[in-house]
Structure 1
Amino acid sequence: MISVLLVDDQAMIRQAFAALLGLEPDLEVAGQAADAETAVRLAAETRPDVVLMDVQLGAGADGIAATTEILRIHPPARVIILTTFGRPGYLRRAMESGAVGYMVKDAPADQLVEGIRRVHQGLRVVDPTLAAASLSIGPSPLTERETEVLRVAASGGSTAAIAATVFLSEGTVRNHLSAAMGKLGATSRAEAVRLATENGWLG
């Protein structure tokens, strides 16, 4: 029997997945979590074989960071990132976190079930379209400092707040933001953050 931990901040989706897995004779739901903290605690308690992990868990929580923590406390777990966000950057971050699968939620149910079985057997399961897109993106054009400034800018703080966080002058921060926007073809700081995030360049 393959035990599966379901992690999604939407109760309806969790319950639908639980009902789907309950129809399979070799799968059982070990637990359900709506947030990263509960997911990590349940993983430690139930020691699931496979974790289905949403990328965004509400209130800024990150399923990819939760994946890293779960694998730290329960290394045998096999994590499939299951998401509505079919973005290559998320795929790259997911694989770097130790996940062995990445599937979009609108995939056919039988593909999801088969994906669980495959990762349990030691294989990887990745949406082929996303895999191809991820390979075509290439490395980040941003410098380490530009990446750091954009990462802090993602929280929406002022230039002064960013400068205080990264220990740079406001003028230097503005220069880094301007350079990053130019490299990404963005017309605003927010667009630069979005593009860098979607491409997996903010980590």
Structure 2
Amino acid sequence: MIKVLIAEDQGILSSALSMILNLEDDIEVVGTAKDGVEAATMISQFQPDLLLTDIEMPNKTGLELADELKESSVKVIILTTFARDGYFEKAVNAKVAAYLLKDTPSEELINHIRSAMTGKTYYEPALITGYMNNQKNPLSQKEQEILLLIAEGDTSKEISGKLYLSDGTIRNYISEIISKLEAKNRIEAVTIAKDNGWL
């Protein structure tokens, strides 16, 4: 029996997935979580074989969960509406068993769950093509950190205090970020990074 935990913040979809999967003789849904933090707790509690998770959820994303589980025996399948290159790159780095879009037919999803348990990996072909055709995340770890703080509304001065760097250094980082993303200003840089799934 394949024990599956579902992490999905849309209640109706979560219930529908649970109902469809429980109709299979070899699959049992052991729980449904409405956010990433609840999912992490339920993984410890129910010890599922596989986590079926959305990406964008409150408190902790599906990608953060996948990254935490990459060295564990729990297989992770991402099921999302977001075909963003940055998300796909993070999913591959987190060693997910499959990255599927929410319009995947239920029979295919069930087959991917079974395949994941045999060690197979599957990525939506359209995502691979899009990823190969587009650039990878051009931002360094530090630049992403700074851009996240800008997204939260911090000023250069506040960021320099948090990261223990001089105000001048932060300003240099910001102008480098704006240049790399070909943005007009820091706000547009945040938007571009978010749209690409780099933040």
Tell me the TM-score normalized by structure 2.
0.88
Q: 1:147 aligns with which of 98, 120, 144?
A: 144
1:55 aligns with 2:52: no
- Which deviations, in whole Å up to 9, do the C-alpha atoms of 1:104-155 show, x marking residues without a partner? 1122222212211111121012111111222233444334543332233233
- 1:45 counterpart residue number: 45
- 2:182 counterpart residue number: 185
- Distance in 1 of aligned mates of 2:77 and 2:160: 37
- 1:23 counterpart residue number: 23
- Distance in 2 of aligned mates of 1:193 and 1:100: 30
Q: What's the CA shift for 1:2?
A: 1.4
Tell me the TM-score normalized by structure 1.
0.86
- Distance in 2 of aligned mates of 1:90 and 1:15: 25
Confirm or deny: 8 A CA contact 2:86 2:136 kept in the other structure.
Answer: no
1:126 to 1:94, Cα distance in 2 relative to 1, 3 A: same
- Which deviations, in whole Å up to 9, do the C-alpha atoms of 1:31-54 show, x marking residues without a partner? 111122221121122221111011
1:122 to 1:198, Cα distance in 2 relative to 1, 3 A: farther
SS in structure 1 opposite 2:6? strand
- 1:97 counterpart residue number: 94
SS in structure 2 opposite 1:51? strand
- 1:134 counterpart residue number: 131
- 1:65 counterpart residue number: 64
- Distance in 2 of aligned mates of 1:146 and 1:24: 46
Confirm or deny: 8 A CA contact 2:87 2:198 kept in the other structure.
Answer: no
SS in structure 1 opposite 2:89? helix
Aligned residues: 199
- After superposition, the CA RMSD in angstroms is 2.1
Gaps of 5+ in 1: none
Q: What's the CA shift for 1:87?
A: 0.7
Q: Percent identity?
A: 36
SS in structure 2 opposite 1:56? coil
Gaps of 5+ in 2: none
Confirm or deny: 8 A CA contact 1:40 1:70 kept in the other structure.
Answer: no
Amino acid at match of 2:121: R
